[in-house]
Amino acid sequence: DGIYAPPPLDLAAEQKTGSWVRQQILGGGINAAHDISDGGLAVAIAEMTMRSGFGADILVPKTGNLHGWAFGEDQARFVVTTADSKTLIAAAKEAGIEITK
């Protein structure tokens, strides 16, 4: 039924998002970044918090596939930290990069 199929690969989206994240890191807009392609969102957040010594406040969806949300290894997705979320969100939207807080 495809529920456990690997996520589709979109090399163009991967390159576009990865290049944008790299530009933001080099420009100081992003302080730290971790892709979610190896273990998913929950693993990426856990690894980032363990390395940094900071915690994370996460809003877990109340409906839907929690396993997929937490451990889905989607491509071209990153967890990032920034000192200025408004500016980063505006830059992402201007570049056509999907971003959520």
pTM exceeds 0.85 for this model:
no
Torsion of CA 11, 86, 23, 12, to 10 degrees: 10
What number does CATH give the domain 11-95? 3.90.650.10
Helices (H) and strands (E) in the chain, counts: 4, 2
Share of the chain above pLDDT 90, in %: 62
Cα gap 46→38, rounded to integer Å: 12
Please tell me the predicted confidence (pLDDT) of residue 2: 59
User: Tens digit of pLDDT for each residue in 18-42?
Assistant: 999 999 999 999 999 999 989 999 9
Cα gap 91→87, rounded to integer Å: 6
User: Tens digit of pLDDT for each residue in 36-80?
Assistant: 989 999 999 999 999 888 899 888 999 988 888 899 888 899 999
